[in-house]
């Protein structure tokens, strides 16, 4: 079974909703992915920074409750993000985050490494993050999510160059349409995907919120719609999508350095199945407050009616 290492920030999300008191949730895109992977039954380690403070304790307890193993630098205070939700549940963020990771000592190479977000662009730690990815990718497949936070990206041209360095280190990249709109204003998602695929990844996945997702490879593409659901808020939806994507690929033996040729040859029908699995996980997450991804059992129950309906249509 594939074991996972996730490198990146953990953040205390202070959620503000109209007419409600503030509520603090454990967050941070990489931390959410690690939590989502562990909830889906995967052995997962998170290399992160957590202060020796109440917010750090809250996040650590949350991650460990799912079985995430922590490699945490506690020399900085725990990062925070104020998440303001509008009446439709859409989120805006205001950050108080530093990323100062130095060269980490890792126990061993994982089967798969995921990284991204603030830890991949925020210096001085971003340089150490990319150096760790470059070392480990010889024995692990790599996924990356830029998870653009405009307030922390700096000047656009430099940010694009850094993102493309990360893309070039990766086998799989996931980005939202909003990420692409900021990085490459006016450019179509298909064009950006082609640009990124030319840098080396086997697949690029683009999520579009309620409008579904598209996966691109060098030989084709596939789409997935969003399952019907009632939205509580959208916090953590993309991270849940990412974790479930990796879950689906691991189940098919397509992660780990020896699996690179298979991942590179991913056919469109299999890519579509991976996207649908990820979309189901995101749909469950948005149906409840905060970054609360599904367990393997919840995801299986959610997918079962869809699969039965699909079989009925096929038979008809």
Report if residue 310 sits inside a domain: no
The arithmetic mean of pLDDT across residues 241-270, rounded, is: 97
β-sheet bridge partners, residue 72: 48
What is the pLDDT of the chain when averaged over all its residues? 91
Report if residue 112 sits inside a domain: yes
Percent of the chain at pLDDT > 90 equals: 73
Task: Output the domain CATH number for residue 110.
Answer: 3.40.1190.20
Report if residue 315 sits inside a domain: no
How sure is the predictor about 1, in pLDDT bands with cuts at 50, 70 and 90? low
User: Residue 305: pLDDT above 70?
Assistant: no
Report if residue 313 sits inside a domain: no
The arithmetic mean of pLDDT across residues 261-284, rounded, is: 96
Q: d(Cα 100, Cα 124) in Å, to the nearest integer?
A: 5
pLDDT tens track for 128-171: 999 999 999 999 999 999 999 998 899 999 999 999 999 999 99
User: Residue 311: pLDDT above 50?
Assistant: no
Instruction: Give me the domain span that covers residue 166.
Output: 4-302
The arithmetic mean of pLDDT across residues 251-256, rounded, is: 97
User: Residue 73: pLDDT above 60?
Assistant: yes
The arithmetic mean of pLDDT across residues 36-61, rounded, is: 95
Q: Total structural domains in the chain? A: 1
User: Residue 306: pLDDT above 70?
Assistant: no
Q: d(Cα 2, Cα 251) in Å, to the nearest integer?
A: 9
């Amino acid at each position: 079974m594939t074991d996972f290492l996730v490198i990146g920030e953990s953040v205390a999300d202070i959620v503000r909703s109209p007419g409600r008191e503030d509520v603090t949730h454990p967050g941070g895109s990489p931390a959410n992915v690690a939590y989502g992977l562990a909830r889906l039954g995967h052995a997962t380690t998170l290399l992160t920074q957590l202060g020796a403070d109440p917010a750090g304790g809250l996040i650590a307890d949350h991650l460990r409750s799912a079985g995430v193993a922590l490699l945490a630098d506690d020399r900085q205070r725990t990062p925070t993000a104020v998440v303001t939700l509008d009446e439709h549940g859409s989120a805006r963020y205001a950050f108080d985050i530093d990323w100062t990771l130095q060269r980490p000592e890792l126990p061993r190479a994982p089967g798969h490494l995921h990284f991204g977000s603030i830890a991949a662009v925020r210096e001085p730690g971003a340089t150490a993050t990319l150096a760790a990815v470059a070392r480990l990718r010889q024995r692990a497949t790599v996924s990356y999510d830029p998870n653009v936070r405009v307030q922390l990206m700096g000047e656009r041209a430099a940010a694009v160059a850094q993102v493309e360095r990360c893309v070039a280190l990766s086998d799989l990249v996931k980005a939202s349409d909003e990420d692409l709109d900021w990085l490459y204003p006016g450019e179509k998602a298909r064009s950006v995907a082609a640009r990124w695929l030319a840098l080396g990844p086997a697949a690029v996945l683009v999520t579009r919120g309620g409008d579904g997702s598209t996966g691109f490879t060098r030989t084709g593409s596939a789409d997935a719609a969003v399952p019907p659901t009632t939205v509580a808020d959208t916090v953590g939806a993309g991270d849940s999508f990412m974790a479930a994507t990796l879950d689906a690929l691991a189940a098919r033996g397509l992660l780990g350095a020896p699996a690179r040729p298979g991942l590179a040859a991913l056919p469109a029908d299999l890519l579509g199945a991976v996207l649908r699995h990820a979309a189901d996980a995101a749909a469950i997450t948005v149906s409840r407050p905060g970054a609360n991804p599904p367990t393997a059992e919840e995801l299986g129950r959610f997918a079962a009616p869809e699969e039965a309906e699909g079989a009925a249509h096929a038979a008809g």
